[in-house]
């Protein structure tokens, strides 16, 4: 047996392990880190003051009414998370094929945005712009009766109106997630015409037709019915195989005036995040979606993964790929553990 004391050292100029010896040197050479400033917490909201309801497929996530929302946002901002993305769950009785309630004066969601802004003026409100919470079929837009497909231009027309009402209610950032052609330009025009020149647009520029949105659709009730086959959004969301097309979408949204470009989902599309990062000078966001969250939670619950380590590794990978901003259901938990140090 070789006694290591007598092993002559290898003649190595590079010993990468020197930079990994201690926590201090590892921290010194770390290339990217998680920070509460970069995180946006998505929150599911429901009408009225009522108590929180758990979302079955997303452990730790609840749908909250106004009171619960205020409590949640207070905690988040104390932890340094100063941006929230709101998704309303609309009563099925208020839904129809055209999603008309979205732009109704009576839509309670506008009132909720207004009250949240009043209570927390410094917290950024990101409001999702799409019709899926409001349509009884769960698609992001209006269906053309002839083709049976989502009608592009008509949907854009409704969404520009919806986005403007959200800006008026106090949303700092509107986030079109519908993937219709031309919606960023149309929304920018309308916002400017109505005097909302300072309202930002976070474009879901690169949104893939993903199976990983399943738990979200449960959360807001856009999945049609539990028995129905999974909603097929492939005529507007991107084919997961296509990166060149993804880059074209990113360029179009940049040219139409988007302030931030987003890639979604995140963890399965690190190459796309990296390519979008290189193709633009705009801030790049990535959305770690409900299915990515559920996957980590499920494995951790089964005792197969360490929750915090798997979570942080997934988020760090998204940062390393080039995302400046991450929407993640883990935002609060991450901010809590960063605070603890
Ligand atoms: C719909 C929308 C979806 C998500 C955000 N906005 C789902 C979909 O396109 O069906 C998914 C987010 C998530 O899964 O966490 N406009």
| Residue from 178, 205, 213, 287 to probe ligand 1 pocket by mutation (most atoms less than 8 Å from CB) | 213
Atom of ligand 1 nearest to the CA of 327: 15
Expressed in percent and rounded to 5, the helix, strand and coil fractions of the chain are 45, 15, 40
The rounded Å distance from CA 16 to ligand 1 centre is 42
Parallel/antiparallel/unpaired status of strands 200-207 and 173-176: parallel
Q: Please state, rounded to an integer, the average pLDDT across all residues of the chain.
A: 95
State yes or no: pLDDT of 229 exceeds 80. Answer: no
Atom of ligand 1 nearest to the CA of 178: 16
- What tokens appear for 245 in the block? 């097309």
212 phi/psi in degrees, rounded to 5: -85, 10
H helix intervals, the chain: 23-29, 66-78, 108-119, 152-169, 183-193, 214-220, 244-255, 270-279, 290-301, 307-321, 331-340
User: Looking at residues 6-12, what average pLDDT do you find?
Assistant: 92
The rounded Å distance from CA 315 to ligand 1 centre is 19
User: Looking at residues 68-85, what average pLDDT do you find?
Assistant: 98
The rounded Å distance from CA 73 to ligand 1 centre is 21
Pocket lined around ligand 1, Cβ cut-off 6 Å: 128, 130, 132, 140, 177-178, 213, 216-217, 233, 289-290
DSSP state of 198: T
pTM over 0.85: yes
The rounded Å distance from CA 213 to ligand 1 centre is 6
264 phi/psi in degrees, rounded to 5: -155, 135
Parallel/antiparallel/unpaired status of strands 62-64 and 53-54: antiparallel
Q: For residue 50, what pLDDT band results from cuts at 50, 70 and 90?
A: confident
pLDDT value of residue 4: 67
| Residue from 150, 216, 327 to probe ligand 1 pocket by mutation (most atoms less than 8 Å from CB) | 216
pLDDT value of residue 90: 96
Q: For residue 227, what pLDDT band results from cuts at 50, 70 and 90?
A: very low
Say how far apart CA 248 and CA 292 lie, in whole Å.
25
State yes or no: pLDDT of 257 exceeds 60. Answer: yes
Three-state SS string across 81-117, please? CCEEEEEEECCHHHCECCCHHHHCCCCHHHHHHHHHH
Q: Which of 95, 233, 264, 332 is catalytic?
A: 264
Q: For residue 202, what pLDDT band results from cuts at 50, 70 and 90?
A: very high
The rounded Å distance from CA 90 to ligand 1 centre is 15
List the single range of 55-59, 152-156, 225-229 with lowest mean pLDDT: 225-229
The rounded Å distance from CA 5 to ligand 1 centre is 59
CATH number for the region 33-340 comes to 3.20.20.70
User: Looking at residues 94-105, what average pLDDT do you find?
Assistant: 96
Q: For residue 341, what pLDDT band results from cuts at 50, 70 and 90?
A: confident
Say how far apart CA 261 and CA 249 lie, in whole Å.
10
Atom of ligand 1 nearest to the CA of 329: 15
pLDDT of 269-300, one tens digit each? 999 999 999 999 999 999 999 999 999 999 99
Q: Any idea where the domains of the chain sit in the sequence? A: 33-340
Question: Catalytic annotation on 207?
Answer: yes
State yes or no: pLDDT of 9 exceeds 90. Answer: yes
Angle between helices 66-78 and 331-340 (to 10 degrees): 30
Say how far apart CA 55 and CA 44 lie, in whole Å.
9
User: Looking at residues 261-274, what average pLDDT do you find?
Assistant: 98
- What tokens appear for 310 in the block? 């798997």
End-to-end, the C-alpha distance of the chain in Å comes to 44
Say how far apart CA 258 and CA 250 lie, in whole Å.
9
pLDDT value of residue 225: 54
Minimal-distance CA residue to ligand 1 atom 10? 213
Q: For residue 223, what pLDDT band results from cuts at 50, 70 and 90?
A: confident
Answer for the pair 329, 56: CB distance below 8 angstroms, yes or no: no
Residues 6+ apart with CB under 8 A from 221: 89, 90, 92, 133
Answer for the pair 159, 183: CB distance below 8 angstroms, yes or no: yes
Closest CA relative to residue 295, chosen from 267, 269, 318, 263: 267
Answer for the pair 93, 50: CB distance below 8 angstroms, yes or no: no
Atom of ligand 1 nearest to the CA of 291: 14
Q: For residue 48, what pLDDT band results from cuts at 50, 70 and 90?
A: confident
Q: List own/partner pairs for 226-232 with CB under 8 A and 24 or more apart.
A: 231/138, 231/139
């Amino acid at each position: 047996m070789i006694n290591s004391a007598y092993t002559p050292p290898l003649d190595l100029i590079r010993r990468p392990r020197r930079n990994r010896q201690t926590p201090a040197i590892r921290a010194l050479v770390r290339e990217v880190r998680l920070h509460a400033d970069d995180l946006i917490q998505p929150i599911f909201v429901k009408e009225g003051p009522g108590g929180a309801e758990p979302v079955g497929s997303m452990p730790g996530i609840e749908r909250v009414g106004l009171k619960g929302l205020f409590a949640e946002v207070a905690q988040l901002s104390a932890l340094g998370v100063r941006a929230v993305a709101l998704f309303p769950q609309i009563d099925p009785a208020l839904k129809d094929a055209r999603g008309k309630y979205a732009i109704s004066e009576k839509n309670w969601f506008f009132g909720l945005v207004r009250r949240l802004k009043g209570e927390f003026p410094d917290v950024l409100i990101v409001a999702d712009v799409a019709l899926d919470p409001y349509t009884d079929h769960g698609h992001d837009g209006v269906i053309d009766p002839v083709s049976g497909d989502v009608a592009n231009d008509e949907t854009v027309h409704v969404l520009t109106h919806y986005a403007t009402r959200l800006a008026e209610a106090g949303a700092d950032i509107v986030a079109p997630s519908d993937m219709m052609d031309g919606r960023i330009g149309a929304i920018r025009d309308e916002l400017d015409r109505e005097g909302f020149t300072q309202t930002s647009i976070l474009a879901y520029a690169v949104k893939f037709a993903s199976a990983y949105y399943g738990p979200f659709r449960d959360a807001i009730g856009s999945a049609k019915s539990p028995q129905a086959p999974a909603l097929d959004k492939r005529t507007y969301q991107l084919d997961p195989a296509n990166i060149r097309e993804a880059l074209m979408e990113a360029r179009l949204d940049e040219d139409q005036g988007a302030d931030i470009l987003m890639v979604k989902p995140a963890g399965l599309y690190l190459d796309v995040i990296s390519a979008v990062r290189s193709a633009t000078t705009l801030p790049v966001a990535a959305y770690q979606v409900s299915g990515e969250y559920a996957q980590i939670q499920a494995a951790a619950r089964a005792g197969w993964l360490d929750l915090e380590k798997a979570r942080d590794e997934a988020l760090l990978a998204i940062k390393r790929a080039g995302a400046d901003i991450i929407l993640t259901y883990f935002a609060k938990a991450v901010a809590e553990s960063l605070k603890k140090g």
